[in-house]
Amino acid sequence: MKPLRFILFGCFIPYSAALSEYPWTFDNDLLGGPDFWGLLNKHWRMCTMGQMQSPVNIDPSKLFYDAGLSPIVVDNNVVEAELHNTGQLPVLTINDSLILSRNINISGGPGNPYRYRIHKVVVHFGRVIDGEKGSEHTVDFVRFPAEVQLIAYNTDLYANFTEAMTQPRGLLAIAVIVDIGDVTNIELRKLTVASQSITYKDSKTMLKKFNVHGLLPKTTNYVTYEGSLTFPGCYETVTWVIMNNPVYITREDLQIWNDLQQTEFKQPNPVFMFPNYRPLKTLNGRLLRTNIRVKYKRMTTQSCASNVYLDMGYQANPTRSHHRRHALNDNDSHSALPMDKLDSRGDFLKNMESFDYI
């Protein structure tokens, strides 16, 4: 039997200031946690009041096929970049002041007709030793080991990232799910090695030759929706693109990211950065559009073709056997449903066609 393809159906605050100037954290047990971001600063009120917030759960049963979504094109250029431990996140900033041919532009996809330029790469991860997953976006409420986000700004409408991040159609962010594998993605490995030089808050290191394009999985399939930044001030100016396939990292390399600290120097009781993902937000009626076209079988001659895909796996490599994901904590309001409670839905798959991987 062929393997089933998984379907993912008035004032500017500088980015650096948003990440470090105010005492905020991803820990909801503290006053500066995500539930309190909107109360810490008047420019962050969207964190509390916004109706188009990110991240969200990708529900395969709610995907809308959009034939107008073209493939996304990302420039394959090698650039210079700076990796910075902000205390809350590891952030890679692309030196986009160079000549145009050395910038990394994005065209096509949901960003049409505009062109965007990648300015930041952000890494989210959980606590490896406890088996905690760290991706911000989930698939059917399944969280994955890590997520890399490529954040770009609209160069057709705005002069720079700072201006664009608060304005309509200002940003486009590509989310790449990171799964555990035998070999780490080459460019992700470069970031991992560099992260060892920024253990403490406000530490920085330069990467002279970095290829952001190399962080992308080999697929043209994606899901897109309109959302926000996932850190203060949560501006609702982001067109999100979640790639359908993951890239891979070894467990040992993922553990290296867990060495990053929120403390500024070596201490007997350090405060580590993990986990650094924002809790899920509700869709509030937003569309989850996809360019993945699915063929369906009718269950009976009287029934209509279904648009529901219920498999829980996230696979990109057909040589890997299908495996079930570890569910999130049952006490978490956004936790995954235990797999044994979902098995009854598996019979529905018998009425659908199987798909090969692209």
173-184 burial, b if ≥16 CB within 10 A, otherwise e?
bbbbbbbbbeeb
237 φ, ψ to 5°?
-125, 15
DSSP-derived pairing of the beta strands 146-154 and 138-139: unpaired
- Pairwise CA distance, residues 301 & 350, whole Å: 15
Residue 158 among the catalytic residues: yes
Spell out where 140-195 has E strands. 146-154, 171-180
Helix, strand, or coil here: 348?
Answer: helix
Please enumerate in sequence order all residues whose Cβ is within 8 A of that of 111, keeping only pairs 6 or more positions apart, or say none: 72, 154, 172, 239
Whether the CB-CB separation of 247 and 217 falls below 8 Å is answered with: yes
Catalytic residue among 15, 116, 158, 277: 158
- Pairwise CA distance, residues 279 & 289, whole Å: 22
- Pairwise CA distance, residues 139 & 336, whole Å: 9
Which residues carry out catalysis? 158
